[in-house]
Amino acid sequence: MTRSFHRPRRIVLLALAGGAFLQGCASSTKSMIAAPSDQPIPPTNLDLSTYSLNRPVGKSVADVGSPHYRFEHFKLESADGKRHYRVQLAVPKAPPPAAGYPLLLMLDGNASFASLTEDQLKHMADSNRPVAIAALGYETHLGVDVAARSFDYTPPVPGEDPTWDDEMRKRLGGGADVFLDLLEQKMLPEIRRRIPSDPARTTLWGHSYGGLLTLYTLFTRPQLFPRYAAADASLWWHGGFILTVESKARAVTAGRTTELLLMAGSSGLEVQNETRALRPGLDPAMVLAARERRRSVPPDAAPKLAERQALRQGMAVTWKPFPGVSHGPMRPASIPPTLEFAAR
């Protein structure tokens, strides 16, 4: 099981067994080699299209059923009626602790819920550490509603009206605060009404744009959750704007330790030397522009962010690199350590 120190102003660098640390970490940062996660890790599929958010997600554990969890869902809409949400719940069948189950909120709910496996649910049940899961998704058969996700998961940029996620594609961004209001005022109360859950053991997890929103929440509304887990967060968005937000981050809640599990694969290094030919049917100008945007932060931006956050009063940070794991496969690869993090 991954080990780390859980106390303020301390960071532990973790690596998969047999892997190497990412380059660029400060020599003064404490480090240790960790064993692989106890949670079952899905195999990495070499067909990266499997991880495309634009593909139908197929059957999930809820469709198949589990002897260890029951499943339900509810729907709601954004205040302006333009975005339609489907929140899927996985509730342990074991009786809850007195304070309620640990709760894991998963962004990109359609795709992330489909990444869960029965082996993972069984592992939690067998270890008597079941985590309740709420996957925050959209009313679509695809991994995500791309336009809705782009708006919901990206922060507003001061001086821009509107904030674009991708102006070439006419895709709006900047709706993170609107989404977080909905999460705080409607989604979370309904989830807690349906699931007896422990506010002191609640984790927000996100991958890619979801990781960007997870960090934005930590920096702007740290009181909302005690635990945050971000996997391959899109630190490059808008030229690294989230790093500006970080520099003005609000103080974390006094009297408790706020925990961050920060994970990253090899995409930060890969994009610096991207030379692959474009797939047929893609607009070369759009693809090349996207590659340039992703090069706007250095490849060691994630471990450096972890180091800075570990210096903040009241923060406990765990850094976990995944050497050789590309951006898409980081979504399922990051779930096992996140389940363990949420179950603590």
Query: What average pLDDT does range 333-343 have in this prediction?
Result: 97
Query: 12-16, 99-103, 224-228, 304-308: which range is least confident on average?
Result: 12-16
Q: For residues 141 and 164, what is the distance between their CA atoms, to the nearest angstrom?
A: 25
Is 29's pLDDT higher than 70?
A: no
pTM of the model: 0.85
First to last CA, the chain: 12
Residue 278 buriedness (CB in 10 A; 0-12 / 13-18 / 19+): exposed
Query: 3-state DSSP call for residue 168?
Result: helix
Given this model, what pLDDT does residue 26 score? 34
Q: For residues 310 and 11, what is the distance between their CA atoms, to the nearest angstrom?
A: 5
Given this model, what pLDDT does residue 169 score? 86
More confident residue, 53 or 180: 180
87 closest CA partner among 101, 104, 100, 99: 104
Q: Name the DSSP letter for residue 27.
A: T
290: tokens are: 């996207």
251 closest CA partner among 221, 213, 224: 221
216 closest CA partner among 187, 237, 185, 200: 237
Binning pLDDT at 50, 70 and 90, where does residue 259 land? very high
Set out the domains of the chain in order of their start, with CATH numbers. Answer: 40-258+324-343 (3.40.50.1820)
Q: For residues 256 and 293, what is the distance between their CA atoms, to the nearest angstrom?
A: 37
More confident residue, 121 or 54: 121
Q: For residues 116 and 90, what is the distance between their CA atoms, to the nearest angstrom?
A: 10
Binning pLDDT at 50, 70 and 90, where does residue 270 land? low
Question: In sequence order, which ranges of the chain are alpha helices (DSSP H)?
Answer: 61-64, 109-115, 118-126, 146-152, 176-182, 188-194, 209-220, 237-247, 267-270, 284-294, 301-310, 327-343
Neighbour count for residue 320 (Cβ, 10 Å) = 24
